[in-house]
Amino acid sequence: MGRRSKALLTEMRTQRILRARARQRLKPPWECPICGQMTVDYIKRQGVIFVFCQRCREGEVMPLLKGYQPIDYYNYYVDACRTRMGKADVEPPVWKLPKMSERQFQILKKRITYGKLLRGEES
């Protein structure tokens, strides 16, 4: 490995830092839209994901679906908080669920606090 210029080393270091920051934005803790602190986290349990702020004790429960990452649920949480505070007017999402029994659907419907549920066989 030969000598490298200081400019090249600085550029490589900058790119490495930017990549690390981009990865970190996808991982909690995220910024809470209510209190402004980096205290938003999530918990996955029994087919639902609970996105909540540890400081101001606000949160939303949403169905855990394939194809969604935790950062997507965080964005829905931000929309819900901003709508509740009157800073935005965002329609809640319609969650299209896979086919399931009526009992499973009712249990999931009781747990969800944000969005509307639609079963797979319905249109």
What average pLDDT is seen over the chain?
A: 88
Which CATH code fits 27-118?
2.20.25.190
What integer is the mean pLDDT of 57-68?
A: 92
* 116 SS3 class: strand
Report the range of poorest mean pLDDT among 18-32, 48-62, 96-110.
18-32
Domains of the chain: which residue ranges? 27-118
Using CA atoms, how far residue 36 sits from 40, 45, 47, 53, in Å, is 10, 26, 29, 10
Given this model, what pLDDT does residue 97 score? Answer: 87
C-beta atoms surrounding 50 within 10 Å: 18
Q: Which residues does 71 contact at the CB level (< 8 Å), separation at least 6? A: 25, 26, 30
